[in-house]
Amino acid sequence: MSPLWRDRIEIFLAPDRVDLTRVARGLRPRPGLTHSQPCELRPDADGAGAVEALGRALGTLAWKNADASVTLSNHFVRLALVPSAGETTRGAERLALARHQLRLVYGERADAWEAVLGEPGGGAGVVAAIDPALGVALRDALAAANIALRAMRPFLADAFNSARAFLAPGPAWLGVVEPGRVCVAHLDDARWLALRNQRVQGAPEAALPLVLEQCRLAGGIEADAAEVCVVARDAIPGDLAPAGRWRFRTIPAPAAARERTSA
Rounded CA gap, 157 and 104, in Å? 22
Sheet holding 125-130, edge to edge: 78-82, 125-130, 114-117
Domains of the chain in sequence order: 3-73+130-152 (3.30.420.40), 76-128 (no CATH), 157-258 (3.30.420)
Question: What is the average pLDDT across 63-83?
Answer: 93
Rounded CA gap, 221 and 77, in Å? 25
Q: What is the pLDDT of residues 153-168, one digit of tens each?
A: 999 999 999 999 999 8
How far, in whole angstroms, is CA 2 from its chain's centroid? 29
Q: Give residue 87's pLDDT band: very low, low, confident or very high (50, 70, 90).
A: low
Task: Give every CB contact of residue 251 below 8 A, 6+ residues apart in sequence.
Answer: 159, 162, 163, 166, 229, 230, 231
pLDDT of 212 above 80: yes
* DSSP H/E element including 103: helix 91-106
Rounded CA gap, 1 and 19, in Å? 26
Rounded CA gap, 130 and 95, in Å? 14
* DSSP H/E element including 247: strand 246-251
Residue 167: strand, helix, or coil: coil
Question: What is the average pLDDT across 235-259?
Answer: 82
Rounded CA gap, 177 and 83, in Å? 24
In this predicted structure, which of 68-72, 91-95, 157-161 has the lowest mean pLDDT? 91-95
Residue 263: strand, helix, or coil: coil
